[in-house]
Structure 1
Amino acid sequence: MNRFALLSLYRSLTRHKLYAALNIGGLAIGIAVFIVLGLYVRFETSYDRWIPDHENLYMVQSDFNLPGSPFDGVSYQTPWALLDMLKETDPELVGTNIMPAYGSVIRDGAGTAENIAPADPGFLDFFRLELAAGSRDALKSPRNAVLTEAAAERYFPSGDPIGQTITLSHDEGPTNYTVGAVVRDLPANTQFDFSILIPIVQSTSPTIIAEERNLGALTALTYVRLETAADVQGFLEKMPAFIRQHGDGIGENPDEMLSYVVEPIADFHLGTADSLRQTVATLGIVGLVTLLIALTNYINLATARAGLRAREVAMRKVLGADRSKVMRQFMGEAILTVAIASLGGLILAELGLPFVNATGGLSLDIPYALVVPALVVLAIVAGALAGFYPAMVVSRFQPAAVLASSRSPGGGRGGARVREALVVFQFGLSIAFMIGTAVMMAQTSYIRNADLGFEREGLLVLSTFNDPGLDDAAKGTLMARFREIPQVTSVTAATMAVGGSGSNTGENMELPGVPGPGPSVRKIDIGDKFFETYGIRTVAGRVFSSEFGRDDATETEDEGNFNIVINRNAVPVMGFDSPEDAIGKVVGGDRPRTIVGVVDNVRYTSARAEIGPTFYVYKSELPDFAIATLRFTGDPRPVKEAVRAAWQESAGALPLGMETTDERLETFYEDDERTARLFAIGAGLAVLIGMVGLWGLASFNTARRVKEIGIRKSLGASATDIVKLLVGQFMRPVLIANLIAWPLAYFAMRTWLAGFDDRITLSPLFFIGASLVAIAIAVLTVLGQSLRASRTAPAWALRHD
């Protein structure tokens, strides 16, 4: 572009300041939304790509084929001994493993919860973690510990941590370790959550070794290095024979029940939860569609405004400019306009990012070295695409016709139809956004208040009650102390608690008269007054009572011949016609169990997770891995203080973790609520862009129809008639937009809701309500222009040029 073209653009923008502000402002908003949501998508899809050679690193995952079982499907955990077993088959295999992180650091007689993870001695080398101090061989010594920089600063703020002693409590209780190395803090986009690494301890007990080599014992994350696609294929081909060789512990035909899959470590983060993958995809689409709406708005306003420069184009053609030169000029102006809007969008993104971070619980920032070049490319590509049609329309004007006319051309019927089609497209996407926002908000509100199968108010869960440093005597003392707290009405313990803490086990339940091992059913060991404490409803029969000796399975679990209680979802799985039909039936084959009661389904975790068939086993002695739960009344704060005092007296330095039901369930709501909030922000701004474009288009059209309005009023039309005419013409594309919006929103929201086990109905009210809101917005947007045009005096309008 030469200086005359730039001067022409400057004059065009300053002469029509309103259109310029609408054009650039709407596009800037769309670009800002695209930048912010693009940063979110980039962050979520960049997990573990910082690890050197991550393309060749894979996670081994267990894939169970157990139809109807709560354990059916892929688990990212494996036996921790799996790596050693694989190396026995293939000595050249390179791999490592790590266990889930938990535990505490003991200092001055007090415990501080810390993410302590036992890891393979080669863990640091496998992932090439950068050391800040110490030796890469630190994990090869059984009593060495490796700290992150942040952990080293917390526990050794005034000196060199290498060689210092730190007391850690993990599976073995309080144990002294020597700090052998400090690794650089890991970035936020990583699957690893440890702050301290300790070596995995090799047991010499034949019983423990056999348990660790059981392919059904899922305790660790296992990683292998596979250099080529052929290596991946070869690894997978060896797995069936490997499972047949080592799978005795999981039943007959183990290779039909279990297989192993490998997943690139960079894909693991998005694969951990369908909700997260949906969130990333949804918000990525929102960003792209908002940008598309902004570009559509730009094309619409630029096309409408092109007619105002018809005489300028005619004069250029008279002075020798050909059509290609005019097109290049207008496309160059479009690119420059998009570049100005991109700068505005970057400023808006920087200003709005703190609000988005606070709203979505994020910590995003703008990497200018990446964003600025991307915006330059966006300005060129988007400007060329958005400016092509307006440039083609303008360059087609005939100089003689334009200069002989008393007014600028408006594009004719064809131009009006194109603008109407763009409004249809733009509002179709906006209405779909509004429907999606309403559905997401309704679903997130529903899952927060849905019936979980128990009384959620007044429950306090002690997640650290199964700490290995807490012996049975201390647990018994604690349970007695909890019962003495005045506000506590009931205390229980079980291997499952609201929020998902505890153990996750299941058994095949052999059914009478049905060949085979029977369906796999989740097993929950419970203590005294479990159902009463949680307030779980009895559907049929009764729950456990000390009056019935066979209710207690403490001594007879291995032999069977005790009573169980099942949940409602287990009734059809076990082949019974109704809950009443299940009462008194004996299941379990060689280990008979009599069903004495059926209780309602209980949702302990996310609304996305299916409630599987479950049976409860009562034990008068505290079950292994039990979590304590208290039922209390009134304010939870004095209850927590009393629990903390009892814990410090009986558990000493061990850290205490306790949360109410709402606090524990909050983690299951966060992702979906963040998605709904960010989606609502994007949808709101998309609708705002649509309003801006529609207002500008209404202003342009009414300005061009002043003389027509004057003629109509001279022939007897009232102001009300004029308003109805103008508003009605703009309502037509908005109403037609529903033909795009409704099917698009229905498909998208049906797919999103399918990820929830407990979900709302996709009611027509969402669609009708969003359409009515869109119509109201459109009416209010064009009403002002229509009212002003309707009040124009006919005499002035007929003289208007």
Structure 2
Amino acid sequence: MWRNYLTVGVRALMKNRTYAVINILGLAIGMAACLMILLFVRYEFSYDKWLPDAANTYQVQSWYKPETSTGSDPELQMTPYVTGAALQKDFPQIESWVYAMGSAPVLQRDGGVETLEDFLYTSGDLLQVLQLPLVRGSADALKAPGSAAVTRSEALRRYGTDDVLGRSFTVVSRGQTRDFRINAVLADLPKNSHLKLNTVARIDINEYFADQPEALNCWGCQSGWIWVRLKPGTDPAAIEAQLPAWEKRNIPDQTAGEARFNMGDQQDWHLVNVRDVHLGTGQGGAMTPGNDRATIVTFAVIALLILGMAIVNFTNLATARASQRAREVALRKVLGATRRQLILQFIGEAVLISAIAMVIALAMVELLMPPLAAFLDADIPVRYLGEGGILLPVLGLMLAVGVLSGLYPAFFLSRFQPAAVLKANKSAAEAAGTGLLRSVLVVGQFAVSIALIICTGVVYAQTVYARTADPGYQRDHILQVEEMSRRQAYGKGETIVAQTARLPGVKAVGRTGIGVATFNNSNTGLLVPGRPDPVTIGNYGVDIGFKDAMGLQLVAGRWFDGREMDDMTVPYPTPEAAHLALVARGANIVINALAAKKLGYATPQEAIGKTLRAGLVEDQYGLVPVTIIGVVKDSRFRSVRESIDPLLFFKTREGSMTHMIVRFEGDPARVRQGVEALWRKLVPDVPFAARFSDEIMLDLYKSEDARAKLFAGFAGLAVIVACLGLFGLAAFTAERRTREIGIRKVLGARTWDIVRLLVWQFSKPVVIANLIAWPVAWWVMRDWLNSFDARISLGPAPFVAAGALALLIAIGTIGAHAVRVARENPVNALRYE
């Protein structure tokens, strides 16, 4: 019986090659798209599941409350060092904890220097908490300060071999030289990890912060990550529920002058399992860029929609071709076939088509997955067997698609009555309602396609807007030089700036603690007369040249100049007398317009001359009286996803400045070469690192750009699948209506009239599809755009354009059939009548 079913199925495909190609190709594209998207979705949800004992390993995160944060991503993955010991003291369920800080120390090797990327300083035995896989060495490699572990690729890069146990290396950080001995070689971490490291070096944390001991007890200083390992069987939710009370017990009140505040009122602490960090809420201060869980779920839905469209194509064409198989069904029933046997036959044919389509789909996946993975910077292998193998899911998907696509046609075809079909040699058997069903399914297909086209257009427009919107400063022609905060450069900053300004093509130079997408946060509280609570403002050191170099615009008052009260420079290390002198003397500051508004001033001009007190020195020395001398236009230094920060600028000659801004004209490469040559001459022991503002902005919106391209790719696939179905229906309908068209032409219809008749029949569902797609796409895109602080307006343009494009595609798909059929000689259609 099954052999007979197979023979009949193959013959049916060979007899209707156009139908077979359209069905198989449509299903293959839908399956390939579905497999690729689902592989990507599985990869995103696989982060850090490879870590041993991941179920008991958690990251401690501190999330600022919105009203107390001025920086981007207030939900931080980082947390203060003091948190670790306080947690273990109160929660015996914590087996062990470790604190680690990201760093980029200078490596001294072979008489030269280089910056080490992805370098971690750790206060304890990291490998006991995060059980990273080892190539050489043992798990107790980081038992003592001065020990280190490197990844295999880093060992090969530095030494040309991974047999490096016992070797030593010397780095310079915070102005101090430190030696480390390599005790372990780590396996390279997979890309699906929230961790990013090449070297782990254990330090004596107290010695490291000997010049800043307050950093070890500061509850508002997030400069590193803490991971904890819970004892087996521990309920993390029970610990999380007790954290508010833990905050009250452990976090002391702080005073600055007569102001009193508590860091526990400004932030909350959370335990996040390492497997949930990548797609979690907290993404500020992450080692690797996280992703949005809603976005990943959206792509999974798109995968299922595209696959559903392919199944709809099969159903449409199968029911449309029902009349051609009606006599076959009738004869089988006359000869004794049961309805169950007929249902099994037609479902078997659908599974056969699904199997052929799956083979083609797997070939597409093999060809397209590597470039897609490279584009996403992800490691997404296509394996059929073993861990992560897709053979069973592929077989399941193939059977599911075959059954789902063949189920309705099978029940529909098997219900034909022999007497009605064979009466008067009747071969047509169009059941009532099937034409309406096909129209509904076509409307659904194009509604999905149009919605995806709209989303693609909106995402692309927002990405372009983000890169080109006015940030409040002159963003073009900027070279941003890093490494200014190196202790090796201390005391040389003014010399570097002065000599850089004399280079050909350089228009202005300035140093700053904030620049183009630097993401460093520094907040302080300002006490306004008459207000009991401090106002949180971002504060950053700058020099005189920063305004012109960055292109800031003054809206009131003046910028810093050489006056004594403008200067807040204190020597390093800072003696107590210098702090006290600054508190006694006071200083001038410049703020932005948003800060003026947040401080309670109706206009920028009203803020000029007002004296406040700011926490710009250590708390024990009191508040510094500061006078506002200028207000600049609000500037967006960060992503458009983040709100503009209220900012305070103070002038200093050294310290607290991380970048140098070089505004130039002319050849960018020549300017960069000149700045680099000067840097290597003045600061030879600090590697040169600089990027143009255009490069920074491209990198800043890389994820949005990738999302726009992915939407465009999958929208294109959806349109192709929809058009394949429309093409098949148009071909079949044109064939069925050949006699009708012949009669119309005999009665005087012109070719244009016939074309218009056929085109309108298939364009009407596309027009209706717009009415469904537009409100759905508007609702989805409205919510997505609301995640940006600055965004495009959601006007009618993308909706009208998507609808018009879909209509043109539909007309182009069926137009060729319409013209060919309309130009046929009616004699050929009517000669046997």
Please give the TM-score of this superposition, normalised by the length of structure 2.
Answer: 0.91
Alignment check: 8 A CA contact 1:28 1:345 kept: yes
Match of 1:24 in 2: 24
Secondary structure in structure 1 of the residue aligned to 2:278 = helix
Q: Which residue of 2 aligns with 1:657?
A: 689
Deviation string 1:501-555 (CA, Å, 9 cap, x unpaired) is: 6x411112222322322x2111111112111111111222222222x44322336
Report if aligned partners of 2:526, 2:537 keep a CA contact under 8 Å in 1: yes
Deviations 1:550-574 (A, max 9, x none): 3223366545732222212223212
| CA shift for structure 1 position 406 | 4.7
Alignment of 1:96-495 (within 5 A): 96-114=98-116, 115-158=118-161, 160-203=163-206, 208-226=212-230, 227-228=232-233, 230-249=235-254, 251-271=260-280, 272-273=282-283, 276-357=292-373, 359-369=375-385, 370-404=389-423, 406=425, 408-468=427-487, 470-495=488-513
Amino acid at match of 2:802: A
The equivalent residue for 1:7 is 7
The residue number in structure 2 matching 1:672 is 704
Alpha-carbon distance, 1:410 to partner: 4.9
Compute the displacement of 1:171 (Å).
Answer: 3.4
Q: Contact 2:583/2:625 (CA < 8 Å) preserved in 1? A: no
Asked if 1 retains the 8 angstrom alpha-carbon contact of 2:278 and 2:291, the reply is: no
Equivalent-residue separation in structure 2 for 1:799 and 1:407 (angstroms): 19
Q: Is the 8 A contact 1:79 1:215 kept in 2?
A: yes
Q: Which moved more, 1:224-233 or 1:788-797?
A: 224-233
Q: 2: CA distance between counterparts of 1:405 and 1:673?
A: 63
1:429-448 deviation digits (Å, cap 9, x = unpaired): 01101111111111111112
Matched, 1:770 2:775: no
Greater mean deviation of Cα atoms: 204-213 or 491-500? 204-213
Question: Contact conserved, 1:583 with 1:596, CA < 8 A, in 2?
Answer: yes
* Alignment deviations for residues 272-311 of structure 1 (CA, whole Å, 9 cap, x no partner): 5486445423333322221122222222122212332212
CA 1:334 to 1:545, structure 2 compared with 1: closer, same or farther past 3 Å?
A: same
Any conservation in 2 of the 1:240–1:255 contact (CA below 8 Å)?
no
- Amino acid paired to 2:613: G
CA offset at residue 779 of structure 1?
Answer: 1.2
Residue equivalent to 2:617? none
Question: Paired residue for 2:530?
Answer: 513
State the one-letter code of the partner of 1:125. Answer: Q
Contact 1:283–1:678 (CA under 8 A) maintained in structure 2: no
The separation in 2 between residues aligned to 1:383 and 1:762, in whole angstroms, is 40
The CA distance in 1 between the partners of 2:649 and 2:367, in whole Å, is: 54
Per the alignment, do residues 238 and 360 of structure 1 end up closer, same or farther by CA in structure 2, a change over 3 Å counting?
closer
- Whether the 8 Å CA contact 1:99–1:220 is kept in 2: the answer is yes
Does the 8 Å contact 1:28/1:341 carry over to 2?
A: yes
Relative to structure 1, the CA distance from residue 275 to residue 59 in structure 2 (aligned partners, 3 Å threshold; closer, same or farther) is closer
Show the counterpart of 2:286. Answer: none
> In the alignment, what sits opposite 1:583?
608
Q: Quote the offset at 1:755 in angstroms.
A: 1.8
Shift of 1:625: 4.2
Cα separation, 1, equivalents of 2:684 and 2:140: 34
Contact 1:443 1:759 in 2 (8 A): yes
Contact 2:51/2:131 (8 A) holds in 1: yes
Q: Which residue of 1 aligns with 2:578?
A: none
Q: Offset of 1:113 from its aligned partner?
A: 2.2
CA contact (8 A) 2:542 2:657 kept: no
Distance in structure 1 (CA, Å) of the matches to 2:251 and 2:154: 39
1:562–1:594 CA contact under 8 A, matched in 2:
yes
Task: Report the Cα distance in structure 2 between the residues aligned to 1:407 and 1:588, rounded to whole angstroms.
Answer: 96
Contact 2:421 2:427 in 1 (8 A): yes
Report the Cα offset of residue 238 of structure 1: 4.5
1:552 maps to a residue whose letter is: D
- SS of 1:448's equivalent? helix
Matched, 1:636 2:655: no
- SS class of match (2:552): coil
Summarize the alignment of residues 701-780 of structure 1 with structure 2, pairs less than 5 Å apart: 701-780=733-812
Deviates more, 1:391-400 or 1:117-126: 117-126
Aligned to 1:796: 828
Q: Is the 8 A contact 2:33 2:303 kept in 1?
A: yes
Which has the larger displacement, 632-641 or 764-773?
632-641
Q: Quick one: which of 650, 653, 673 aligns to 1:617?
A: 650
The one-letter amino acid paired with 1:230 is D
Instruction: Tell whether 2:595 aligns with 1:595.
Output: no
Check conservation: 2:68, 2:266, Cα contact below 8 A: no
Instruction: Check if 1:550 corresponds to 2:559.
Output: no
1:353-406 per-residue CA deviation (whole Å, 9 max, x = no partner) reads 344345545553312232222111011112111111111110011112222355
Secondary structure in structure 1 of the residue aligned to 2:81? coil
CA distance in structure 2 between the partners assigned to 1:442 and 1:231 by the alignment: 43
SS in structure 1 of the partner of residue 279 of structure 2: helix
Q: Report deviation, 1:190.
A: 1.0
Give the secondary-structure state (helix, strand or coil) at the position aligned to 1:792. Answer: coil
Asked if 2 retains the 8 angstrom alpha-carbon contact of 1:30 and 1:294, the reply is yes
Q: Say which SS state the counterpart of residue 147 (structure 1) adopts.
A: strand
Q: CA deviation at 1:2?
A: 0.8
Q: Provide the C-alpha distance between the structure 1 equivalents of 2:426 and 2:654, rounded to a whole number of angstroms.
A: 91
The C-alpha deviation readout for 1:679-730, integer Å capped at 9, x for no partner, is: 1011011101111110110111111111222222233322222222211121
Question: For residues 173 and 126 of structure 1, what CA distance do their matches in structure 2 show?
Answer: 28
CA distance in 1, matches of 2:248, 2:506: 50
Mapped partners of 1:175, 1:109: distance in 2 = 16
How many residue pairs are counted as aligned between the two chains? 796
CA distance in 2: counterparts of 1:153 and 1:800, whole angstroms? 82
User: How big is the shift at 1:43?
Assistant: 1.8
Preserved contact between residue 489 and residue 683 of structure 2 (Cα < 8 Å)? no
Find the aligned partners of 2:594 and 2:338 in 1 and give their Cα distance.
76
| 1:418 Cα deviation after fit | 0.4
Distance in 2 of aligned mates of 1:575 and 1:27: 63
Asked if the contact 2:483–2:658 (Cα under 8 Å) also holds between the matched residues in 1, the reply is no
2:490–2:655: 8 Å Cα contact kept in structure 1?
no
Deviating more after overlay: 313-322 vs 791-800: 791-800
Classify the secondary structure of the residue corresponding to 1:709: helix
3-state SS in 1 of match to 2:46: coil
The whole-number CA distance in structure 2 between the counterparts of 1:281 and 1:241 is: 35
1:89 — aligned with what?
90
* 1:252 alignment partner AA: F
Are the equivalent residues in 1 in contact too, given 2:105–2:171 (CA < 8 A)? yes
Among 572, 593, 596, which residue is 1:571 paired with? 596
Q: Secondary structure at the match of 2:98?
A: strand
Matched residue of 1:176: which SS? Answer: strand
Residues 297-343 of structure 1, C-alpha deviations (whole Å, 9 max, x = no match): 22212221233221221121111111111111111211221121111
1:188 is displaced (CA, Å) by 1.2
Q: Distance in 1 between matches of 2:236 and 2:805?
A: 57
| Alignment deviations for residues 179-207 of structure 1 (CA, whole Å, 9 cap, x no partner) | 11111111111111111111132316787
**d(CA) in 2 for partners of 1:707, 1:333:** 30
- State the identity %: 35
- 5+ long unaligned stretches in structure 2: 284-289, 571-580, 615-622
SS in 2 for 1:24: helix
Matched, 1:65 2:69: no
Unpaired runs of 5+ residues, structure 1, are none
Distance 2:786 2:25 in 1: 37
